[in-house]
Structure 1
Amino acid sequence: MPAKLSVNLNAIAMLRNRRDLPWPDVAHFGRIALQAGASGLTVHPRPDQRHIRFSDLPVLRALIDDEFPQAEFNIEGYPSEDFLLLCEETQPEQVTLVPDDPTQATSDHGWNFRQHSVLLKETVTRLKAGGVRVSLFADGDGDAEAVRLAAETGAARIELYTGPYGGCFDNPQKAAALLDKLGETADHAKNLGLDVNAGHDLTVANLPALIRRIPYLAETSIGHGLTADAMEYGMAETVRRFCRACGQPIS
């Protein structure tokens, strides 16, 4: 099965928030992405609402339910009580837990599974009780023990943090070394029964190598590079290009 593409709408929302105006319309671009072949939508509602707003969640939930019932809604965030209540109200198909401090500009590291095992076990149990699949943001450094601890939380998936790999666009040798580590981490997860997602700074150029190394990759969550390409190719064609890069037979 080719990796599914979940389009992260944060960058579109951040552009909208520069003005007190309703455009660009986040739901409109979500609709275009799903019509073009994306399998889902991702958002990361931060406490300061600097891009996705809490009010966007029911709108996007309704978009999927009413027009694209086969698609999935993925909500990312740190498991504060406010965030968990948002998830329980919105009922996404997947919640991706990230260890972000509220002041971070973007996600830039995976969980310390040794330090946060109790928090994560309790959170995973709570979300699973509501019928939500849980994925945990993880560093792709080949640490087998960390992956084992991630599996012990009861989560269904890990999401590999691919930022360092994406940042090596001008250094093929370093990118290849980081890709090996990502692959090792994914293999450890697969052997423990975890599905594997990936996200952060993935592009049409670097996705194919990642897919070749991790052919069982379940999902990629992509926002920044996809939104940048959409300025050149348009949202629909950009989604098709990323779907092809994920190995999907998009015409």
Structure 2
Amino acid sequence: MTGKLHGLGVGPGDPELLTLKAHRILTSAPVIAYPAPDSGGSFARAIVSGFLRPEQTEIPIIVPMRTERFPAAEVYDKAAAEIAAHLDAGRDVAVLCEGDPFFYGSFMYLFERLGRRYPTEIVPGVSSIMASAAALGRPLAARNDVLTVIPGPLPDGEMEVLIGGAGAVAIMKVGRHFARIRALIERLGLLDAAGYCERVSLAEERVVPLAAVPGDTAPYFSTILIYKGAEAWIHALPAGKTDNAS
């Protein structure tokens, strides 16, 4: 009998958004793996740090934080081999993933390597998009609205086509692309329909209309939500809130 592989969605940052099932598995698994940058701590681990036990074995998966491409396959090959050794020894392994494991989650790369070889369970987590809509105080979409999720690194041309065909839009991974994306949204006449959500569910959460955001940069953990669908009651943007008073 081998151990079981668990992909745990740990949500956008607030530990209280961890599901009961994820908490049960997290606190009982003998081995915990998680992505970590090559400098600084792991955000996924930080979310659940209050629930970890000293006797649990930890496997940090070091993923270089670079704008240029790096040999990601080698990173996940190495991590998969280390995790497989524990599974072969009969030990369950819980892999932490910010947000949801199968929604732009890093766990999918380990699932590709291990999911067909070992018993595997995926525990969904609260996506940052859902948490952002809740923080903004405006529904994502309604009735027959088409919700389109757009990665921030996409070029303007592709992004414009996607926005044009959607009733509601969520733009993720904004970060260093913020100035370009905001300029595109303004050019499309949608600035007043866009909300900006930064570090949602964390103590330093910042949620404001996009038009009110100063500067040309944004952290990686930021999302822009746009509504241009048919429901008039969704269009109004709340005044916004900011917990870091910036």
| TM-score (norm: length of structure 1) | 0.31
- The structure in which a higher percent of residues are strand is 2
| TM-score (norm: length of structure 2) | 0.32
- Structure with max Cα Rg: 2
- The structure in which a higher percent of residues are helix is 1
